[in-house]
Amino acid sequence: MRMEGEAHPWLQYVDLLLVIFVLLPSGIVFKEIVRHRNESTTQQLRRSYVQMLCVPPLGAVLAWLGIVAPKGHRTYEVGVCLGEAVCFVAFFHMLVTYCGGVSKYSTALQARKANTTIICGRFCSASSHEIQVLSWQRMVYQVVAMPLWPTSTALLCHYTMLCESIKWPMHVLQILQTVTCVVALLSMYFCSRHYEFANLAIGQKLVTLKAFLILPKISAFVIVFLARHAWIHGTADEKIHTAARIRGYVLLCYANFFSVMFVNTFSAHDYALETAAPDAEYYKLPESMSDAESTFSKTEKHAENALEDEEDDDILEADGLEYGL
């Protein structure tokens, strides 16, 4: 019979369970990454797959740190934002690499006379398809600056008394960057889902990405709401630390769930990898340095011969004019 005040027997296994839940996503993802690395085809597309597969294990480690050391939860938020930025950029690279690169993707849009709208709808059109694709690229690349906001928040909260006044504006900026990036990816989806991305299964991949980004944020807002409305008791610091631990448990569960989803969605045997443009079409490199030098020398010699022939023709033409021919 358990005495009053005595800890539950299963509490001594909590640390072991946490380690298992942290290592499980890494093991699941590592096996799939090895399969990608063992394949020799479409390496550029597989690189984007691998980058996205690495994000759930990173989230598991950060969630575990949030549980065992909740005081540094603002620092761990930087890593979470960094993982989201990697997902966005890698997903954009996956789309354009599947078509053969940015230039070939814009050429395909121009060939079928697609709409040049940058944002979903009939407004904000670009003057050409090249500018359209480059605009999408800029809208996605701006997400690289997203980790700056939690970094600034952590520094200001640590060294100044502006924590409460600066925290929400930083969150708003972070949300705006995320929305901008999602709008760009949705615009690409609606523009090319039945044409350039027909065999990519982009619908499933986009739903997986949005769920990975949205569900943890909703959970974080719910936990903060509960902490602010006295559902979590204690002092202000105790509430923050308790909320950080609860969020860590939730994120750890999400990391394990999305590890399985990512492995299923970005599998090494994905059908899109068989229908993608081969690497040789847009990253064709010489097999060796000697081949490159010989190719360059042949091109240079051909140009010199053409120049000499042109000079000979000019000399003959001048001689003919001099002798009245």
- Domain of residue 86 covers 9-278
List the pLDDT tens digit at each of the 325 positions of the chain: 344 444 445 545 666 767 777 788 888 888 899 889 888 778 888 899 999 999 888 888 888 887 777 777 777 888 888 888 899 999 999 999 988 888 889 998 989 888 888 886 566 778 888 999 999 999 999 988 888 877 777 777 766 766 666 667 777 788 888 888 988 999 999 888 888 898 888 888 988 888 888 888 777 777 767 766 656 566 666 666 677 777 777 777 888 888 888 888 898 888 888 877 775 554 443 344 343 334 334 434 444 454 455 555 555 454 444 444 4
70 and 176 housed in the same domain: yes
Q: Whole-angstrom Cα distance, residue 119 to residue 184?
A: 7
In a domain, 3, yes or no: no
Task: Take residue 309 and report the two structure tokens written for it.
Answer: 């022939």
Is the domain of 57 the same as that of 179?
A: yes
> What's the pLDDT score for residue 218?
79
Residues 41 and 160 in one domain: yes
What is the reported pTM?
Answer: 0.76
Same domain, 299 and 270: no
Cα separation, 56 vs 21, in Å, equals 12
Nearest C-alpha neighbor of 132 from the set 48, 176, 196: 196
Q: Are residues 310 and 194 in the same domain?
A: no
Two tokens, residue 26: 């890494």
Helices 43-53 and 55-68: crossing angle in degrees, nearest 10, is 20
Contact 71, 157 (CB under 8 A): no
User: Does any domain span residue 307?
Assistant: yes
Q: Could you tell me if 30 and 113 lie in one domain?
A: yes
Does a structural domain hold residue 63? yes
pLDDT for 227 equals: 65
Task: Tell whether 85 and 101 lie within a shared domain.
Answer: yes
pLDDT attached to residue 92: 94
Please report whether residue 245 resides in a domain: yes
Please report the pLDDT score of residue 5 as a whole number.
Answer: 43
- The answer to whether residues 315 and 237 belong to one domain is no
**What's the CATH code of the domain at 158?**
1.20.1070
In this structure, are 185 and 305 located in the same domain?
no
**Of 278, 301, 316, which marks where a domain is finished?**
278
What's the total number of domains in the chain? 2
Statement to judge: residues 47 and 170 lie in one domain: yes
Q: Look at residues 259, 278, 297 and tell me which one is the last residue of a structural domain.
A: 278
Looking at the chain, list the stretches that DSSP marks H as alpha helix, in order from N- to C-terminal side.
Answer: 14-38, 43-53, 55-68, 73-98, 102-111, 129-141, 148-159, 163-192, 202-228, 236-265, 272-275, 279-282, 289-322
Lookup: tokens for 242: 């308790």
104 occurs within a structural domain? yes
Alpha-carbon torsion 63, 65, 70, 72, what sign? Answer: negative
At 167, list the tokens. Answer: 């925290």
Residue 143 gets which letter from DSSP?
G
Q: Is residue 167 part of a domain?
A: yes
- In terms of domains, do 231 and 317 share one? no
Phi, psi of 122 (to 5 degrees): -110, 25
- Would you say residue 4 lies in a domain? no
Contact 78, 147 (CB under 8 A): yes
Reduce the DSSP state of residue 121 to 3 states and report it.
Answer: coil
Asked if 65 and 137 sit in the same domain, the reply is yes
Encoded amino acid at 49, one letter: Y
Q: Residue 1 falls within a domain, yes or no?
A: no
